[in-house]
Amino acid sequence: MSMAFETSRRLKQLPPYLFVELDRLKEEAIARGEDVINLGIGDPDLPTPGPIVEALKRAAENPFNHRYPIGRGFKAFREKVAEYYARRFNVALDSDKEILALVGSKEGIGHIPLAFVNPGELVLVPDPCYPPYVSGTLLAGGEPFRLPLSEEQGFLPQLDKLERSVLERAKLLFFNYPNNPTTAVADAAFFEQVVFYAKKYGFIACHDAAYIDIAFDGYRPPSFLQTPGAQDVGIEFYSLSKTFNMTGWRIAAACGNAEVISGLASVKSHLDTGIFGAIQEAGIAAFDLYDQVVPQSVRIYQERRDVLVTGLRQQGWQLEIPRATFYCWLRTKPGITSAVMTRKLVTQAAIVATPGHGLGDAGEGYVRLALTVPVERLKIVIERLQEISWDEDEA
């Protein structure tokens, strides 16, 4: 007879992971025989470029890569990250002390509270946000303190509105620009404000830059590390996932303050043994292909953005034109909640979207649509939206 095992209190604090729930809704629609268009999870449909795959194949045949890749990541990979930061942002990084290879940026985000947050201490998290900011905090025994993001304030957290007692208890601040899910971007003034408050109150600034290379109309998002004093107070998580269509490969880097990098590296040394060496070699190849790969991907996403935004606005939907990321942050119909809207999208139109409230209470009244299907499918999305009945009682 199987024994019953009770999960920990920390695990019980966590809500069901949002994208698991979205996957369940999608599978139910598929089981009904629907032609599902999945605009839920932010997973690029574009394949990893062939030369990167070929680099992996070659590296996989090298017996050196069959052993534990212990350490902070291959020196050659860390040097490529440093070269990228120097070229793209004019930021100088010491590849030995200020760069740490990660098994995807989600892993680093989830682990950094374990390095610096004690039970009961506060972690400042935007609301809405990428869920691991909250779950990583809770698993470390910390307390998430939510910073509502509002359209009126450009979806920027209002650090100057926080009480002194909150700022004094804070150990970490998570922030993310270009922003998931709102698509907002941040300027130098906001990053300067982060540095000011981090220095004044002694918390670590953790910038998630997963979408920093996916931007439109000639816009080039800045790195937080470009900000004077940023490397004194924090780090930036840079991911190859979206930039090079490598979400499944799990490769990223934490960059910035050497002391923070060292703390995160210490946690990782106890919990993982690094990234498969062949994937690191593929990552090196990816950076060498940056000028070929990234502009092409951006053109594709920009075309998709233009088709979807134009179609939505013609139907009277309210949304800003995204300057970056591959999302649209769409206001729901008046009187319709995020949950009702996403349910209607699945049941009446076989469209999977992300409900805003699932990413935080301040996300209520919005849904997130990912630009991760071809233009032809987005045109079908626009057509299907016209068929939906938005009466509440028909959800």
DSSP letter string, 211-253: TTT-B-TT--PPPGGGSTTHHHHEEEEEESTTTTT-GGG--EE
CATH 3.40.50.150 for the 50-288 domain, yes or no: no
C-alpha–C-alpha distance, residues 386 and 389, integer Å: 8
CA–CA distances in Å: residue 96 to residues 13, 79, 254, 350, 370: 37, 8, 12, 49, 36
C-alpha–C-alpha distance, residues 91 and 83, integer Å: 9
Assigned fold of 15-42+292-389 = Aspartate Aminotransferase, domain 1 (3.90.1150)
C-alpha–C-alpha distance, residues 22 and 20, integer Å: 5
Q: What is the pLDDT of residue 149?
A: 98
CA–CA distances in Å: residue 290 to residues 83, 87, 159: 12, 11, 35
Q: What is the pLDDT of residue 31?
A: 86
Nearest to 264 by CA among 23, 288, 255, 160: 255
- The partner residues of 253 in beta bridges, in order of sequence, read 101, 238
172: its two tokens: 């970490």
Is 345 in contact with 353 (CB distance < 8 Å)?
yes
Q: What is the pLDDT of residue 207?
A: 98
Whether the link from the prior residue into 148 is cis, omega within 30° of 0, is no
Q: What is the DSSP letter of 9?
A: H
Q: Provide the pairing of β-strand 99-102 with 252-256.
A: antiparallel
pLDDT by residue for the chain (395 residues), tens only, comes to 677 888 888 888 887 766 676 677 778 888 888 899 999 888 999 999 999 999 999 999 999 999 999 899 999 999 999 999 999 999 999 999 999 999 999 999 999 999 999 999 999 999 999 999 999 999 999 999 999 999 999 999 999 999 999 999 999 999 999 999 999 999 999 999 999 999 999 999 999 999 999 999 999 999 999 999 999 999 999 999 999 999 999 999 999 999 999 999 999 999 999 999 999 999 999 999 999 999 999 999 999 999 999 999 999 999 999 999 999 999 999 999 998 999 899 889 999 999 999 999 999 999 999 999 999 999 999 999 998 988 765 54
C-alpha–C-alpha distance, residues 128 and 155, integer Å: 9
How wide is the angle at C-alpha 99 spanned by C-alphas 96 and 104, nearest 5°?
Answer: 140
Domain map (residue ranges) of the chain: 15-42+292-389, 50-288
Give the contacts of 182 (CB within 8 A, at least 6 positions apart).
Answer: 128, 149, 151, 155, 329, 366
**CA-based Rg of the chain, rounded to a whole angstrom?**
21
The residue assigned the tokens 């291959």 is 74
Q: Is the fold of 15-42+292-389 the same as that of 50-288?
A: no
Q: Provide the pairing of β-strand 252-256 with 234-239.
A: antiparallel
177: its two tokens: 């620009």
Q: What is the pLDDT of residue 395?
A: 46
C-alpha–C-alpha distance, residues 323 and 221, integer Å: 9
* Phi, psi of 127, deg, nearest 5: -140, 110
Which pTM does this prediction carry? 0.95
